[in-house]
Structure 1
Amino acid sequence: MSSYTQLGVLKQQDQNLDLDLDAAKIPTGETETSEDEVKYKDPNLVTWDGADDPLNPKNWPNKTKWSYTVAVSLFTFISPVSSAMIAPALSHLAQDLHMKSAIEVDLSLSIFILAYAVGPVFFGPASEIWGRVRLLQLSNLWYMAWNLGCGFATNKAEMFVFRFLAGAGGSAPLAIGGGALSDIWTPEDRGKAMGIYALAPILGPVVGPIAGGFIAEKTTWRWVFWSSSALAVFIQAAGLVWLRESHAPTLLKRKRDQLAKKTGNTELYIMAPTTNTTNTALQHQHQQPSQLLLSSITGALIRPARLITTQPIVQVIALYMAYLFGVMYLLLVTFPAVWSGPTMYNESLGVGGINYVSIAIGSFIGIIVNFRYIDRIYRHLKAQNGGVGKPEFRMPSMFVGSVLVTVGLFWYGWSVQGRAHWIMPNIGVVIFSAGTMACLQSMQTYTVDCYTSFAASAMAAVAILRSLAGFGFPLFAPYMYKALGYGWGTSVLAFVSIGIGFPAPFIFWFYGERLRGMSKYATG
């Protein structure tokens, strides 16, 4: 008997039965309901009309799914562009806005990333109440408005405030995107889509500084913000065309409301998980709407904190992903000093910005290889496991990626320390970026596979620590390299990657299933 049938029978038999709603499964379409089961389900329970219901996002045509995936990835791309686009022009910005310390200069860039730790706490859970599309579009408008305001800032206080508010709006796609893609893709096909999505927050900080370097050299730093806001307008238009609601409970609520209006049956209801601080009785249509809304919002906002504090899977992934993002933003901030510094490679801002292409090349290599093999490996391991898929089958990419991250860091650091030909540090960055992409795609897909029903909340929990690292690493980078040099300074980062990255895939491979079995949130 399906989960929906069971819940319907329980509702009829005993509406006072205490259930842990955190363990209830959202009707996402990943489980199918046979015709015989449909006959015996609660007639007031609104769900999909069979396994082939075209309204179910899992049954959308592939063309629609890919356009939706690209649209979500574009929304995820624009904000990271802004996060690092100002990096090559920080000296000009600091001079115009009278910033006197290095901390203030670095803060004008990294405070945008600090907001990434705040926004997902709201946006991820909120998307599980109000749906994905509305929040994606409204948050992009919010980001666009405040980012435009950064171009008109007249002092450092305005810059800090505007940058933080823009970052808060720009964080929404990072929190919502993973859940949005889990709405439409089955586990067997999800890896490729997650690869494109994972590429966006890496490619954004690469494209940003390259464009920002030439913009700052030819015009003024203010056009860095105005041009990225113009790009956000284009992405907003693309979203209006390609985005459609994919959140199953939101779609089923609309279906319920339409049926209630058509039939006059006020007893119709849907089953969806809610999170409360205590176990609650099965929620149904007789409860007051205001009580239901308040309970849903409270539970949703608490959920990311509960996930990051109680789920070892989320904790390990958050720690390693935070490290990778922190190192990536550390490189982005220190690149101008490496490539354009008078005592280093002494290139112009525009030419120095071209070196950011090495991050893009490495990321594309990582994504292309993963795109080709991650789902193929998953299906192969699933077949060997008797046709039963497991989230742990995403780990092979992470085994390889963790090694590449360490090798790339050693290569880059000592190439810069020895003032080797400019191609050598770039090769190190390519290796590091390819490994980072492999790890990120593996971890994000693993997280979504583990917490399908609560994917947005899980990704929001991970984003908190990741964003704090992206904020903090660039602040200590200048002092670390001044004390240790680029060779030993980057080697410290490489040794940390060994301590975190090497054990992580083994932990998930050998103990992931046991950890999921102990969780009331995890799939299966």
Structure 2
Amino acid sequence: MIAPANDQLSREFNIHNSVMLAMITSVFVLGFGKSTGRARVLQLSNLFFLAWNIGCAFTQNEKQLIAFRFMSGLGGSAPLSIGRGVIQDIYNREQRGEAIAIYSLAPLLGPESSWRWVVGVIRSAILLPCRKSFYHQFWSSSILDVAIQLFGLVFLPFAPVLLKHKAEKMVKQMDLKNGPYKRVVTIYQRDRSWKTVMKTALYRPFLMFAVEPIIQLLGLYMAFVYGLMYLFLTTIPSIFKDVYHEHTGIAGLNYIALGIGLTCTSQINAQLMDKIYFYLKNKNSGPGQPEFRLPPVVPATILLPCGLLIAGWTAHFKGIALVGAGIVLSSQSIQMYIVDAFVLYSASALAAVNCLRALAGFGFPLLAPIMYKKLGFGKGDTILAIVGITIGCPAP
């Protein structure tokens, strides 16, 4: 959201360092590195994000803005780690693919959809009085976040808590306390004290990352993919403004190519993911396996380097779209695999993966200006394509 406002930030705070400008964008993602839990954590994290996001609208210098962006990123981390766990609570394995595909499109498409020309008349009408200042970006997202918070207070579920309430209801209706079915009541009455919950939530993702090689491997590739997306988000304006001398508004239209790649591929994958799962399940004449979610990663590892080469050497919209397609295919499939493989602990497993990819999302945009300045866009994207092939092709 803040990337298009780099020129305004430079003038407002007298910033002439490209790394500092990139950090203002990417520091938000650094806060995505840690969050576990479910409904209550989502609600509290959202309030935390809202408070610091509003604070960004009152900043007076770049240091305050970086600090406030980081804190709002901590609050914004919860949906990425927990949302898929909520979907796992609601849908069975055969229905989960399409739900995850639709859900996971939002955080990928979100950075582009905040541009005024993508959402069109509604955004322009709201922001018309203050479009000359970058501060309106924070007010508009805060207004939307309030609506989301009110909606979430009513509709966010958590399966173990729901089952505990169901068991308590059974006790009242059937007087099972002293009967042979006492374990129905006690099965979910584990220690839910604040200290125990916090201790488990803080160490479990790091423990899983330390002992699970599959999380390490897929986490590394997800980190590359996620970092690549933020690198593109921060460098697309510089390509079309500095090299082709396009006006900021026209240069920003090139984000539409990335949005098309993300959206179209996501919806196609949403339709195919569950069908592939059913096909492999029937072919193997047994229960479904988490590995049945991974076939779409194979074309993703081909589309991504191809898109990087085309975008780097020609700046053609088809290359940018292919990058978006590769990003969304790999992200959806890997996240779906993790949800199916770790079930009740999927939120912790996703938090372990998200920690690494958040660091990449923070670091890649900081390295991009230096890399492209020394190598150019063609050679720079060629190196990234080689890295994508080296990590991506063996991983699935």
Q: What's the counterpart of residue 395 of structure 2?
A: 504
Q: What's the counterpart of residue 192 of structure 1?
A: 98
Provide Cα deviations, 1:141-192, integer angstroms capped at 9, x if missing partner.
Answer: 2212211111111122221221111111011100101111111111111110
Match of 2:141 among 228, 244, 248: 228
- Output the CA distance in 2 between the equivalents of 1:302 and 1:326: 25
Matches within 5 A, 1:32-71: none
Match of 2:252 among 353, 367, 380: 353
2:291 aligned partner, one-letter code = E
Between 429-438 and 481-490, report the one with greater CA deviation: 429-438
The answer as to 2:237 corresponding to 1:336 is yes
**Residues 94, 277 of structure 2: 8 Å contact kept:** yes
Q: Which has the higher contact order (CA 8 A, sep 6+)?
A: 2
User: What SS does the corresponding residue of 1:154 show, helix, strand or coil?
Assistant: coil
- Output the CA distance in 2 between the equivalents of 1:161 and 1:265: 53
The answer as to 2:163 corresponding to 1:252 is yes
- Output the CA distance in 2 between the equivalents of 1:413 and 1:473: 16
1:406: Cα distance to partner? 1.1
Q: What's the counterpart of residue 276 of structure 2?
A: 377
Larger Rg: 1
- Identify the structure with the greater helix proportion: 2
Matches within 5 A, 1:29-428: 85-117=1-33, 119-120=34-35, 124=36, 127=37, 132-209=38-115, 218-240=131-153, 243-245=155-157, 247-258=158-169, 265=177, 269-271=185-187, 293-341=194-242, 344-416=243-315, 425-428=316-319
1:260: Cα distance to partner? 5.9
**Residues 19, 369 of structure 2: 8 Å contact kept:** no
1:441 aligned partner, one-letter code = Q
Q: Flag structure 1 segments of 5+ consecutive residues without an equivalent.
A: 1-84, 273-283, 417-424, 506-524
Q: What's the counterpart of residue 434 of structure 1?
A: 325
1:166 aligned partner, one-letter code = S
Q: What's the counterpart of residue 378 of structure 2?
A: 487
- Output the CA distance in 2 between the equivalents of 1:463 and 1:149: 25
Quickly say closer, same or farther: Cα 1:196–1:319, change in 2 above 3 A. same
TM-score (norm 1): 0.69
1:299 aligned partner, one-letter code = T
Provide Cα deviations, 1:440-498, integer angstroms capped at 9, x if missing partner.
Answer: 11101011111012010011101000100000000000000011100010000000000
Match of 1:461 among 302, 327, 352: 352
1:261: Cα distance to partner? 6.8
TM-score (norm 2): 0.91
- Output the CA distance in 2 between the equivalents of 1:349 and 1:224: 16
2:106 aligned partner, one-letter code = A
1:371: Cα distance to partner? 1.4
**Residues 41, 78 of structure 2: 8 Å contact kept:** yes
- Output the CA distance in 1 between the equivalents of 2:198 and 2:166: 21
- Output the CA distance in 2 between the equivalents of 1:103 and 1:485: 17
Q: CA RMSD in A?
A: 2.3
**Residues 102, 267 of structure 2: 8 Å contact kept:** no
**Residues 311, 319 of structure 2: 8 Å contact kept:** yes
1:325 aligned partner, one-letter code = Y
**Residues 210, 350 of structure 1: 8 Å contact kept:** no
1:221 aligned partner, one-letter code = F
- Output the CA distance in 2 between the equivalents of 1:491 and 1:152: 41
1:471 aligned partner, one-letter code = F
User: What SS does the corresponding residue of 2:15 show, helix, strand or coil?
Assistant: coil
1:256: Cα distance to partner? 4.2
- Output the CA distance in 2 between the equivalents of 1:161 and 1:293: 28
Q: What's the counterpart of residue 342 of structure 2?
A: 451
User: What SS does the corresponding residue of 1:451 show, helix, strand or coil?
Assistant: helix
- Output the CA distance in 1 between the equivalents of 2:43 and 2:22: 30
1:244: Cα distance to partner? 3.4
1:374 aligned partner, one-letter code = M
- Output the CA distance in 1 between the equivalents of 2:152 and 2:223: 29
**Residues 209, 356 of structure 1: 8 Å contact kept:** no
- Output the CA distance in 1 between the equivalents of 2:224 and 2:25: 18
2:6 aligned partner, one-letter code = L
Quickly say closer, same or farther: Cα 1:445–1:264, change in 2 above 3 A. closer
- Output the CA distance in 1 between the equivalents of 2:370 and 2:46: 35
- Output the CA distance in 2 between the equivalents of 1:333 and 1:208: 14
- Output the CA distance in 1 between the equivalents of 2:224 and 2:272: 25
